A and B are shown apart, each in its own frame.
Chain A
Amino acid sequence: MSTMTPESFSKRSFVYRQLAGAEFAEVAGGALATDFKNGRAQAEKSGLLDLSVLPRTGFRGSRAAEHLKAAGLPVPAKPNQAEQSANGELVLRLSMKEFWVLGSLADNGAAIDALNQRPLPDSDCYALYCQDSHNWITLTGAALPETMAKVCGVDLREASFARGAIAQTSAARINVIVVNHEVKGIPCFSILSDSASAEYLWESLLDAMAEFGGEVIGSNALA
Chain B
Amino acid sequence: MKIMHCPLNGPRNISEFVHGGEVREMPNPATCSDREWADYVFYSDNQAGVITEWWLHAPSGYWFIAERHTVTDEILKTYDPSEIFNQRVEFSKEDAAAPKEATA
Identify the A interface with B (CB < 8 A). Answer: 79-80, 94-95, 153-154, 167-170, 175-177
Question: Are B13 and A80 in contact, with the CB atoms below 8 A?
Answer: no
**What residues of A have a CB within 8 angstroms of the CB of B1 in the complex?**
153
Listed A/B pairs (15) with beta-carbon separation below 8 Å: A80-B9, A94-B60, A95-B8, A95-B60, A153-B13, A154-B12, A168-B9, A168-B57, A169-B12, A170-B15, A170-B58, A170-B59, A175-B16, A175-B58, A177-B59
Name the interface size band of chain B: 10 to 19
**What residues of A have a CB within 8 angstroms of the CB of B79 in the complex?**
none
The prevalent SS among residues of B at the interface is mixed
- Given A80-B9, A153-B1, A153-B13, verify A176-B59 contact (CB < 8 Å): yes
**What residues of B have a CB within 8 angstroms of the CB of A167 in the complex?**
9
Task: Look across to chain B and name the residue whose beta carbon is closest to the beta carbon of A175.
Answer: B59
Question: Are A170 and B13 in contact, with the CB atoms below 8 A?
Answer: yes
**Which 10 A/B pairs are nearest by Cβ-Cβ distance?**
A168-B60, A175-B59, A168-B59, A153-B13, A170-B16, A169-B59, A168-B9, A170-B59, A175-B58, A79-B8
A95 to B63, CA, bound (A): 11
Q: What's the minimum C-beta distance from A128 to chain B, rounded to whole angstroms?
A: 11
Q: Does B62 contact A (CB under 8 A)?
A: yes
Task: Look across to chain A and name the residue whose beta carbon is closest to the beta carbon of B15.
Answer: A170
**What residues of B have a CB within 8 angstroms of the CB of A177 in the complex?**
59-60
**What residues of A have a CB within 8 angstroms of the CB of B60 in the complex?**
94-95, 168, 177
**What residues of A have a CB within 8 angstroms of the CB of B12 in the complex?**
153-154, 169
Per-residue CB proximity of B47-90 to A under 8 Å, as 1/0?
Answer: 00000000001111010000000000000000000000000000
